[in-house]
Amino acid sequence: MSVMLADQLGKMTGLHVYPRSISQGEGATYYLARDGSHRLLGILGEATGFEGTPRGDVRLCPLTAANAAVLRERLPWLRPQPLGLVRSVGCGDRLGLATPGHVRAVRQAGGIAPIFAQQSIRENARTGRASREVVDDAMWGVFQEGWRAPWGADADHLKTLDALDDCVAAGYSFFTLDPGDYVDASAHAAPLSALSSKRDALPWKDLETNPADLQAAYLGQSFHLDGGHSLTFTEETLWRAAGKYGHAIAHVLRLYRRLASQVRDFDLEVSVDETETPTSPLEHYFIANELRRLQIQWISLAPRYVGRFEKGVDYIGNLVEFEADLAMQVAVARTLGPYKLGIHSGSDKFSLYPIFARHASGLVHLKTAGTSYLEALRAIGGSEPGLFRDIYQLAFERYAQDRASYHVSADTSLAPPLRSLRDADLPGVLDQFDAREMLHVTFGSALAKYGTQLKESLEVHEEAYYAALVSHFGRHLRPLAGGAN
């Protein structure tokens, strides 16, 4: 029926109509259509409040922020909303074009709730996008594919009150608080003589406790965890944990109270993954127990796991060690929550998804970002080889500088040299470790120089891009979606 109606609507304007987008509401039919390389909102019927121009009986409207806001009022399922304690995936989209592919992948996998808008302030700075734009771009993709189930929008890696306020105004539903700048990594291995000074320097007033009460809460007892595990603090391990994470917990409290004063219903994630040293199960327990004491309500926590979680490539480390550590992390999350464990830098960690499914079951939030950009490059490699070669050459030139804020280990001398590559080989470059990381972290430079050309090409070859996303995200989602609740 929707295909027939799409044909009828298309004949009215001479445009291609996306059948899944056709929606009824408030005396009008709404749909998304394509005019060459651009998409437009079509409205048949009452169109008060929308900016656009008539074409026969239809009003055609640009995909502006103002039109997005009016459409969300007409079609409430286009609003991001909290997802709660369900297995979930965050689908970062640095180009603003990937959501239809994400929707198809999530729909195909089943059993996992999506966050279709996800971007950090750092990534927005590099892509030149605003927080509201990220939400709107995802919304248009949700509309295009007719996704009617709940979906979320993640204000990722928030570090400041100003950034938090900006994302609240933009309508996000999931807020990832990142106090990593306040984590004192030196406490991890500081000599015992230094721990007392770190203890004294903690922001006790902000933490709403004191050293004596903290010792009374943790020392002289065993903490029994789900699954028969237990943890015991010594005076040394307590003050190492407090010294390492005390300032970070105080910062989370500041951000949380600001957020709770502005938004009534939201999902919260606390992230300490971008730190120098792993978060031990004992430290995880300390963080979560202190958050609970301070009456912070959260849905997900992302520790810094053992091993290396580099961008866009599989896990680097000992899988046996990781599995043993994860079992304890899950036990803490089940005991003090339950809450989800965040998998940050989670894209392409194919060796870990079955382990998470075995131990965490549904208590998982997988966070991906750059992998969707890399699949865009794969599609470009197959359709616009000249453009791909330009972007790849730029990666060689910019990698040394652009890698500064990322945990990556690519070596440009090991990446396939351009001169040796035939056009048919270009999509396969994305499967080589060093080239993949180089292309991943130089996305900001690539978009600054080739962004317009790249996006226009993807608009023309959108189905190739969606197909690449469905295939790639299927490898992420199937192992996790298959786990029991």
Tokens of 169: 């105004």
Number of other CB atoms surrounding residue 76 within 10 Å: 9
Distances 138 to 28, 36, 416, 457 between C-alpha atoms, Å: 22, 21, 34, 19
441 Cβ partners below 8 Å, 6+ apart? 311, 370, 399, 402, 403, 406, 408
| Model confidence pLDDT, tens digit, residues 60-103 | 999 999 999 999 999 999 999 999 999 999 999 999 999 999 99
Position 406 scores a pLDDT of: 87
CA–CA dist 120, 133 (Å, integer) = 13
C-alpha of 374 from chain center: 15
| Model confidence pLDDT, tens digit, residues 425-444 | 999 999 999 999 999 999 99
Which position has the token pair 């080589």? 432
What structural domains and CATH numbers belong to the chain? 2-74 (no CATH), 84-141+148-184+226-370 (3.20.20.70), 373-473 (no CATH)
β-sheet bridge partners, residue 158: 177
Does the active-site annotation cover 273?
Answer: no
Position 482 scores a pLDDT of: 74
Number of other CB atoms surrounding residue 79 within 10 Å: 16
From 93, 184, 269, 462, the catalytic residue:
269
For residues 138 and 372, the answer to whether their CB atoms sit within 8 Å is no
Distances 456 to 34, 37, 179, 269, 280 between C-alpha atoms, Å: 13, 7, 37, 35, 46
Does the active-site annotation cover 156?
Answer: yes
CA–CA dist 127, 78 (Å, integer) = 24
C-alpha of 174 from chain center: 10
CA–CA dist 485, 483 (Å, integer) = 7
CA–CA dist 410, 103 (Å, integer) = 31
Beta strands (DSSP E) in 173-299 are 174-177, 222-224, 230-232, 267-271
C-alpha of 86 from chain center: 16
CA–CA dist 289, 291 (Å, integer) = 5
Residue positions counted in the chain: 485
3-state SS record for 378-405: HHHHHHCHHHHHHHHHHHHHHHHHHHHH
CA–CA dist 102, 116 (Å, integer) = 7
Closest CA to 305 of 255, 375, 253, 364: 364
Alpha-helical segments (H) within 30-130: 65-74, 99-109, 121-127
C-alpha torsion sign, points 240, 242, 245, 247: negative
SS3 state of residue 256 = helix
Position 483 scores a pLDDT of: 45
From 93, 136, 156, 375, the catalytic residue:
156
Position 56 scores a pLDDT of: 94
Series of mean pLDDT values for 10-residue runs along the chain (485 residues)? 87 95 94 93 97 96 98 97 98 97 97 96 91 98 98 98 98 98 95 94 98 98 95 97 98 98 98 94 98 98 97 97 98 98 97 97 95 98 98 98 92 97 98 98 96 96 97 96 56
Which position has the token pair 């990781």? 322
CA–CA dist 366, 390 (Å, integer) = 32
275 Cβ partners below 8 Å, 6+ apart? 180, 183, 185, 304
Number of other CB atoms surrounding residue 402 within 10 Å: 21
